[in-house]
Amino acid sequence: MGLITPGLGLIFWSALGFLIVLFLLTKYAWKPILAALDEREKSIDHALKSAEIARNEMSNLKAENEKIIQEAKIERDNMLHKASEAAKQMIDEAKEKAQLEGAKMIESAKAAINTEKLAALEEVKVQVGILSMEVAEKILRANLSTDAAQQKLMDDLLKDIKLN
């Protein structure tokens, strides 16, 4: 058992010891530890990958959202445009209708006024006729109160007929 001459006993024991350690550690330590490390590395890898996927999906979703918002804006603009046009049309139509209606009303009012006027004039005419008849009667009564006057009227009337 010198310094540089390996002793048989120690070779034997260290070989035995090392083999036992190798066996025990491989079976009960390295395999579970390495498996756990692999497992964890895999799960970290997996987590990173799924995070990447999620990020991509997020950006896709965002783009889609923006697209939807864009479309909605266009839609809204269209709707607003259509609505304002429809409103304008309705207003125009209403105006036209109102104008027509107004014109009709004015027309009918005019007609009614005319009728009223004619009726009033007729009334006036009748009244004038009655009045003139009354006047004429009074005048006649005054002028023809004597026989001579009556004769004279007769004569005049006859004269007129002859002339005709």
Partner 1 sequence: MARKFLCLSILLSIFWLGFSNPVHAAGDGESKTGFILPHVMDNYEWHFATIGHTHVTLPLPVIIYSPDQGLEFFLSSNFQNHETHKFGKDYGVGGYYIDENYKLSAADPSRTFYDFSITKNVAMMFIVIAVLLFLMLKSANFYKRNPGAAPKGIASFIEPIVIFVRDEIALPNIGHKKYRKFTPYLLTLFFFIWVGNILGLFPEAANFTGNIALTFTLAIFTFIITNVNGNKDYWKHVFATPGVPVPLLLIIVPVEIIGLFTKPFALMVRLFVAITAGHIVILSFIALIFVFESMAVGVASTIMVVFINFIEILVATIQAYVFTLFSAMYIGLAVAEHDHH
Binding site for partner 1 (CB under 8 A): 1-15, 17-18, 20-22, 24-26, 28-37, 39-40, 43
Place of tokens 């970290």: 44
- Shortest Cβ distance from residue 78 to partner 1 (Å)? 54
Phi-psi region of 122 (alpha: psi -120 to 50; beta: other; left: phi over 0): alpha
Which one, 16 or 74, has the nearer CB to partner 1? 16
Compare residues 8 and 148 and give the one whose CB is closer to partner 1: 8
110-to-107, 122, 123, 136 alpha-carbon distances in Å: 5, 18, 19, 37
Rounded least distance, CB 51 to partner 1, Å: 17
Cα–Cα dist 96/93, whole Å: 5
**Shortest spacing between CB 18 and partner 1, in angstroms:** 6
Q: How far is the CB of 15 from partner 1 (least distance, A)?
A: 5
Nearer to partner 1 among residue 47 and residue 135 (C-beta):
47
Task: Compute the distance between CA of residue 42 and CA of residue 46 in angstroms, rounded to an integer.
Answer: 6
